[in-house]
Amino acid sequence: MDFKSCVHIRQEWDIVGARQLGRDKAKELGFGTVDQARIATAISELARNIYLYAGTGKICFETIEDLEHKGLEIIAKDEGPGIRDISQVMEDGYSTSGGLGAGLPGVKRLMDHFDIISTHGEGTEIRTSKWVR
């Protein structure tokens, strides 16, 4: 849509920056506090995945609109190693880093739409959005 802004993820503290920006955008669009927390958490998960597995990447925000609704789309993009088996990472409890393994399936539950495209060796792009209710 009309505005688009990105945060580059290079170090751990950039996760906080991405989260802050996302929360501001969510507030601007009129999301309630619970949804703001959901969006901030989702951004946190996506940004941390970039930091942990790809090293660098970016998180972008876009406002989306249909006839009645407004929403926020989060795009997490990296040129990291990619995901070999997407169905596996979407399972609860699967983790390669000793974490809880709730990140990506969790994001899917926190948001309304969730799309993931990943090519092994080329990178990953995740698009996820939430509508203002």
Partner 1 sequence: MHRRIKKIAVENSDVIIKKWLEEISEKRKNEYTSAISEELFQSTSREFVNVIFTSLDKNGLTPELEHFSERLINLGWPLTYITDGLHSFRRVTIDFILSQSEQIDSEYFSTILNTVDGWVDPIINRLVNEYSGSWEHTVSLQRVALQELSAPLIPVMKNITIMPLVGTIDTERAKLIMENLLEGVIKHNAEVVLIDITGVPVVDTMVAHHIIQAAEAVRLIGSTCILVGIRPEIAQTIVNLGIDLGKFPTKSSLRKGFETALELTDRKIVRSKEKDQVVDQLLNSLDKE
Return residues touching partner 1 (CB under 8 A): 12-13, 15-16, 19, 33-34, 36-38, 40-41, 44-45, 48, 92, 99-103, 105-106, 109-110
Nearer to partner 1, 37 or 60 (CB): 37
Compute the least distance from the CB of residue 103 to partner 1, in Å: 5
Quick check: 123 and 58 in contact, CB under 8 A? no
Q: What kind and span of H or E run contains 64? A: strand 57-65
Of 23 and 70, CB closest to partner 1: 23
Measured in residues, the chain has a length of 133
Closest CB to partner 1 among 40 and 116?
40
Least Å distance, CB 28 to partner 1, is 17
Select 109 or 120, whichever has its Cβ closest to partner 1: 109
Q: What are phi and psi of 128, to 5 degrees?
A: -140, 140
Q: Rounded to whole angstroms, how far apart are CA atoms 101 and 75?
A: 21
Q: Is 54 left (phi over 0), alpha (psi -120 to 50) or beta?
A: alpha
